[in-house]
Amino acid sequence: MLNLSLPPFEDLQAGIYLVPTPIGNLDDITLRALRTLASVDRIAAEDTRSAKILLGHFGLHKPLTSLHRDNEAQRSQDILAACKRGERFAYISEAGMPGISDPGYVLVRDAIQENVPVIALPGPSAALTALVASGLPSDRFLFLGFLPHAASKRRQALAFFVYQPLSLILYVSPHRVFEELQDLQEILGDRKATLAREISKFHEEYMRGTLSSIHQDLAQRTHKLGEMVLIIHGADDERAAQAHAILHTQLNPPTPNQDTQTPLTPLDPETAMQLDAQRLLELDAPLSQLAKQLAQRWPHITRKQAYDILQNLRADD
């Protein structure tokens, strides 16, 4: 047990305090987080068992109540009622920032609707920690959280990001990592990627390479993989710029006196799929083979629909 003898905040107002907790090393917790936990009247936790371990490590003892996905709607109302009576409530998820692929959104939404103050403390985030250490572009990115469990829905979700020039951040379950890496390669292509596992823990590791090399490396592992964050390079600049330029020309044909530097229109998924079909036609392979590839990469269409799209594009050419 570590007891820092930190004084509580004397003027902490009634409301909800979102307190991020360490994602691995307990030393990652902030002094403000500790003082807040020492000052509130009660703590709501996604997992009361891990919360007791965390609080006990720092010599803190507070009444605990559970708040997880299955009871968040009902429990939030009880917590807000207590806050309106003047209580200070902290909420901690099992690890990291509450509300990021963890419960917390419903509590915050309801608190704002009922004019209960919400105070979010900064702290550990597995997604951003992995991003900045990945070696991949970190100036623009999309956080996708966990992909859908069902393969068809997962592949359909990925199709929206084929042409996006943004680094993608995903949380990956060790139970689905191999099938998800396979889908990512087929839909997005074999892009540069970094897999961060067990961040801030004893077995922390960063696997840098491509989606295929990471897949091959993991297949040779015999030990438990643990919690993972996957960072994927966005679409290359040439591919993204070409797609955006074509779409802009289609939707906004230039007038004689129009400035050619007009901002590009964002790419919509349907147009992106059509552009991908045009690119496949350049391979000069049988339409049946190309249709199979197109349907795999854009799961919202059937193979027959893919064949018809390719056939119509070839006829137009």
Every domain of the chain and the residues it spans: 15-120, 126-232, 237-252+263-316
User: Are 153 and 179 in contact, with CB atoms under 8 Å apart?
Assistant: no
Residue 78 reports pLDDT greater than 80? yes
Read off the DSSP letter of residue 316. Answer: H
Instruction: Check residue 32 and give its pLDDT.
Output: 95
Q: What is the pTM of this model?
A: 0.77
Residue 243 reports pLDDT greater than 90? no
Instruction: Check residue 297 and give its pLDDT.
Output: 76
| Mean pLDDT for the stretch of residues 261-272 | 59
List Cα–Cα distances, 112 to 87, 100, 117, 119, in angstroms.
Answer: 16, 18, 7, 11
Instruction: Check residue 264 and give its pLDDT.
Output: 47
Q: Identify the CATH assignment for 126-232 out of 1.10.533.10, 3.30.950.10, 2.60.40.1220, 3.30.450.20.
A: 3.30.950.10
Segment among 45-49, 104-108, 153-157, 192-196 with least mean pLDDT? 153-157
Instruction: Check residue 238 and give its pLDDT.
Output: 66
Residue 263 reports pLDDT greater than 60? no
| Separation of alpha carbons 201 and 124, rounded Å | 13
The structure tokens listed for 139 are: 């100036």
Segment among 9-18, 38-47, 248-257 with least mean pLDDT? 248-257
Nearest to 193 by CA among 210, 217, 177: 210
CATH 3.40.1010.10 assigned to domain 15-120? The reply is yes
The band of 212, judged by pLDDT with boundaries at 50, 70 and 90, is very high
Query: Which amino acid makes up residue 77?
Result: Q
Instruction: Check residue 1 and give its pLDDT.
Output: 60
Residue 236 reports pLDDT greater than 50? yes
**Side-chain half-sphere CA neighbours of 133 within 13 A:** 17
Would you put residue 196 in left (φ > 0), alpha (ψ -120 to 50) or beta?
A: beta
Determine the angle formed by the axes of helices 303-316 and 287-297, rounding to 10 degrees.
120
Q: Are strands 228-232 and 205-210 parallel, antiparallel or unpaired?
A: unpaired
The band of 240, judged by pLDDT with boundaries at 50, 70 and 90, is low
Residue 23 reports pLDDT greater than 90? yes
| Mean pLDDT for the stretch of residues 94-108 | 93
